[in-house]
Structure 1
Amino acid sequence: MSQENSCCRVCSRGLYSCHWREPSENKRKHACCWFSVVTLASLLSLCWMYICLVAFNDREDVNWQGFTKLKRWVNWFMVLIIVSAVITSYCVLLLLFALFQVALKEPLDLHWLHKILVFFGVMFITFGVVGISLQWKQEWPTVPLSLQATGPFLQFGAVGALTLLSPLVFRSFYVAETAWSRAVIALAFVAVSAAIFLCPLAIQSPCLLSELPVKPELIGHRGAPMLAPENTMMSFNSSIACGVTAFETDVQISKDKIPFLMHDNHSEFLSRTTNVKEKLPDKLSSSSYNITWEELQTLNAGEWFLKTDPFHSVSQLPEDERKAAGNQTIPSLRELLDLAQEHNISVMFDLYSSNQKDDTNHTVSTILGSGINPRLILWLPPAEREAVISTAPGFIQVYNKDTDRLKKGDHLNVKYSNLSTKRISELRQKNVSVNLWVVNERWLFSLLWCAGASSVTTNSCHLLKEMDRPDWVMAPLTYRIAWIVVDVLSFLIMTGLFIWQRRTHVLCPRRGTETQRNNTPAWSDKELSPFLTTG
């Protein structure tokens, strides 16, 4: 087999250009431009995939938004993850084949089908970014927050990638025909290298510490919704086994003034988590004020969990637990208070109503009538706070906004992305209790643990309870030594490669492939120089 028809060449050439038998004789004027497009598409897809993985913590928000608009519960976020992973894998593989083409001095003749697919991939990512910016912009702060957890390791990976790609840059430097081209290549490479080598100076992570704070307590978000249907007694009982210190739930008021547990509060608020369509179709679009407690008790609040499997956890449940999950009903607030009092667990809840005053009065009356210790009630609704303090001074008041008026002993409950890790540490130093919601992933829990959060509201209490330490903790001095050693090793390796490339270019200049030596050039040094300069 000739050199130009070796297995490696044929596979690389065929997969990139669809020229399986012999190299293309055509000179494509825009080969370098398309290589740049593939490179940018690969970087863009990797960044998009990173955003999707970071946002995985909040996947329930996406699915819930999809349900409210389409009235159909589908794991939309998992569909997004799968499509994004396919696009990312395709773009990265295409870039690798392009680099193989360069290393083998084969023509960069990108096939038209690849061009179309890359275009659609970029359009999909563009629509995704625009969609987040318009419909889910509160998710963007999660990205810089995540870099505090991944930044040190991304820098190590960037140093490794720079070292691996440096031979191509050095070769482009030596084959460049003008001093101006060499200067551009040298300056660009030095600038990129300096940015990567020195970026740890700007990396700030709460996990770069010497003394680890106490592990945050766990608050069950609507119970333990990965183990049982949300806002059911089975769910709250399951969260007790996780060691939660508080239940988080949502309270609404029925027509006959009975407070009950239900999160959804829009039109058709019962359709996602109950069988109201089959059981009470005439009540489908009713508000909670139009449905009696007796009617609510006829609804099944567990079958949806088995059918939709919102967290892909049903298959992990024993048969008896699956059967119990399918027979759940809507619980009253009084049932939850009795359970909380029995196990000495706090209760925190939201009130969803256009009539906050009446709902507050009925809810407070139910709580006071239950006999529960008032110090177990974490009062979150802000609308009638002064009246509640007057009526039930024993309740612990929890605030949902960070203000300068917070003082020692106060309790704050906010979305995790609304507070910086630095601000969390400042509040904890003032002895303000800080609870962050909703925290499901290990990396996020680890980061907030390092920052000193008091507690987190979570869907995955059974997973977080198993963590004895954050995923990583490193003393600042240890990290500085590590990144300096990695940078120095990379610099020495690249210096050696630069010298080797110089000797190779001077002592044994490249003459090309067999085709090129027969005066039918597939890729001459003259053609290679502008491509590598662009790349």
Structure 2
Amino acid sequence: MGGVGALTLVSWLVFQGFHRSRRVASKILIMVVFAGVSVAMFLSPILIQSPCLMEEKPLPTKPALFGHRGAPMLAPENTLMSFRRSVGCNVTAFETDVQLSKDRVPYLMHDNNNHFLRRTTDVLQKFPGKDFNHSTNLTWEELQELNAGEWFLKTDPFHSVSQLSEQEKKTAGNQSVPSLLQLLDLAKTHNTSVIFDLKNDDNNDTNDTNETVKTILNSGIPHDKILWLPPKHREDVKKVAPGFKHVYSNVADMNRDGADHLNVKYSALSTTEIRELRNRNVSVNLWVVNEPWLFSLLWCSGASSVTTNACSILQDKNQPDWTMGLDTYRCIWITVDLGSLLIMFTLFILQRRKERHRFSALAS
């Protein structure tokens, strides 16, 4: 609509040039070029596609919310406070990252290798000079000495700390690194699923999968609440824990194993591909989705769920930002095009009269 409006305004100058030109070839060139641009602009809505161009009746079910490291806009990521806050957002799954300590205790931490612990804990102050470039450099007891919340109050990564009460700020500033077992107990209490990455399973000689699966089985959480994402030892996991739901990071591997759960970046699939997968009853989770407009687009596409930092924002959406029936859409752009043509015709006549009047004045 903005393009049509701009084209309509520019037409005044185009028609002025047309009427002032004295060469027939120049007139023809001006009108051919302008007519070509106008036709392209008027017909461009035919090429515009959006999954939200639909009748309201067949609107897909609202995507479920997966709390990305909990609710990191409301509390320090990958802490129990963060996951508890995500429960208040009605998330259906906790998304997290699992690493193993020196004494083989699975715990929650995203950053690894050279960034391990530096961003989200006070490890530099607690253990000055100690080597902690890998998860196994610290024991579980040492990890428990770290503060995993003060960084959130100091850096305010989502500019949301001001929205917290004084008590919430105090709680946030006293968070510790949680174990996987603590998260599983919380998930079991709230009947919430858990999906996670094993950050170091490909980077060392030890098998982090074994200890992680053992911890899950000992926790007593229902097996169908575990959305197993790590690919390296997937076949072994299927034998030990056949009740886990296996989630894949690409369509090819999922199809190869005859599975029906997919977890990919939101930009990895087109809206058409999402719709086709959903028609095959494939559960499609997309990460990381924070903006309401993007959530709305994926909702219209039929996404099953999204992993989000903004669960507190998206939980309140009862419908996409907009939907529009195709007939309504066509009626709008046809009306705009016809209105533009009418205005252009009027401007053409006015310019012709103006030029005739100017020519008469010059002749006299």
**TM-score, normalised relative to structure 1:** 0.64
The answer to whether 1:363 aligns with 2:208 is no
Question: For residues 510 and 253 of structure 1, do their structure 2 counterparts lie closer, same or farther at Cα, with a shift above 3 Å needed?
Answer: farther
Give yes or no for contact 1:277–1:284 (8 Å, CA) kept in 2: no
1:452 paired to 2:297? no
**Pairs aligned (count):** 356
Tell me, yes or no, if the aligned pair for 2:112 and 2:133 is still in contact at 8 Å: no
Aligned to 2:36: 191
- Out of 170, 175, 194, which is 2:15 matched to? 170
Of the structure 1 ranges 236-245 and 320-329, higher mean CA displacement relative to structure 2 is found in 320-329
Partner of 2:60: 213
Give 3-state SS (helix, strand or coil) of 2:207's partner: helix
- Which residue among 280, 289, 313 is the counterpart of 1:463? 313
Cα drift, residue 283 of structure 1: 3.2
Alpha-carbon contact 2:132-2:138 (below 8 Å) kept: no
| Corresponding position: 1:405 with 2:255 | yes
1:428-507 residue pairs with structure 2 within 5 A? Answer: 428-507=278-357
What residue in structure 2 maps to residue 179 of structure 1?
24
2:6 alignment partner AA: A
Deviation at 1:180, TM superposition (A): 3.6
C-alpha contact (below 8 Å) 1:268/1:284 kept by paired residues:
no
- Segments of structure 1 that go 5 or more residues without pairing to the other structure are 1-155, 512-535
From 201, 224, 237, the counterpart of 2:71: 224
Deviation at 1:460, TM superposition (A): 0.4
3-state SS of paired residue (1:249): strand
Indicate which of 124, 143, 150 corresponds to 1:303. Answer: 150
Cα distance in 2 for partners of 1:420, 1:443 equals: 16
CA distance in 2, matches of 1:475, 1:510: 53
Give, in whole Å, the separation in 1 of the partners of 2:87 and 2:301: 26
1:296 and 1:433 mapped to 2: Cα distance?
A: 36
> How far is the alpha carbon of 1:357 from its aligned partner?
5.8
Matched, 1:315 2:162: yes
Question: How far off its partner does 1:228 sit?
Answer: 0.8
Q: Shift of residue 356 of structure 1?
A: 7.6
Q: 1:293 pairs with 131, 137, 140, which one?
A: 140
> Which amino acid in structure 2 is aligned with residue 202 of structure 1?
L
> Is residue 428–residue 434 contact of structure 1 (8 Å, CA) maintained in 2?
yes
Deviation per residue, 1:487-508 (Å, 9 max, x gap): 1111111111111111112113
C-alpha distance in structure 2 between counterparts of 1:501 and 1:300, whole Å: 74
Q: 1:253 to 1:480 in 2, by over 3 A?
A: same
Question: How far does residue 169 in structure 1 lie from its aligned partner after superposition?
Answer: 2.2
In 2 relative to 1, CA 186–409 (structure 1 residues): closer, same or farther, beyond 3 Å?
A: same
Matches within 5 A, 1:383-422: 383-403=232-252, 405=255, 410-422=260-272
- Superposition deviation, residue 185 in structure 1: 2.5
State the secondary structure of the residue aligned to 2:255: coil
Mapped to 2, the partners of 1:347 and 1:440 lie a distance apart of: 20
**1:261-289 Cα shifts (integer Å, max 9, x gaps):** 11111313111111112121223642111
How far residue 163 of structure 1 moved from its aligned partner, in angstroms, is 1.6
Aligned-partner Cα distance in 2 for 1:380–1:278: 34
Mapping 1:71-90, distance limit 5 Å: none
Aligned in 2, Cα 1:506/1:389: closer, same or farther, shift over 3 Å? same
Q: Which secondary structure does the structure 1 equivalent of 2:336 belong to? A: helix
State whether residues 217 and 456 of structure 1, in contact with CA within 8 Å, keep that contact through their aligned partners in structure 2. yes
Contact kept? 1:401, 1:414, Cα under 8 Å: yes
| Alpha-carbon distance change, 266 to 179 in structure 1, aligned in 2, over 3 angstroms | farther
Q: Give the deviation of 1:477 after TM superposition.
A: 1.3
In the alignment, structure 1 residue 266 sits paired with structure 2 residue 116: no
Contact 1:271 1:284 in 2 (8 A): no
- 1:252 maps to what in 2? 99
- C-alpha distance in 2, partners of 1:485/1:493? 12
Name the SS for the 1:300 alignment partner.
coil
Equivalent position amino acid for 2:316 in 1: E
Letter in 2 for 1:173: F
Distance in 2 of aligned mates of 1:249 and 1:510: 80
Deviations 1:199-256 (A, max 9, x none): 1111121111122011110000000111111111111001000000000000011101
Shift of 1:170: 2.0
> 1:282 aligns to what SS in structure 2?
coil
What's the C-alpha RMSD, in Å, of the aligned pairs? 1.8
Seq. identity, %:
61
Q: Which amino acid aligns with 2:63?
A: P
- CA apart distance, 1:510: 12
Contact 1:242 1:462 in 2 (8 A): yes
Q: Which letter maps to 1:183?
A: I
1:382 positional shift? 0.5
SS of the residue corresponding to residue 267 of structure 1 reads helix
Looking at secondary structure, tell me which structure has more helix per residue: 1
TM-superposed CA distance for 1:174, in Å, is 2.6
Give TM-score, length-normalised by structure 2.
Answer: 0.93
In the alignment, does 2:175 pair up with 1:328? yes
CA distance in 1, matches of 2:164, 2:23: 68
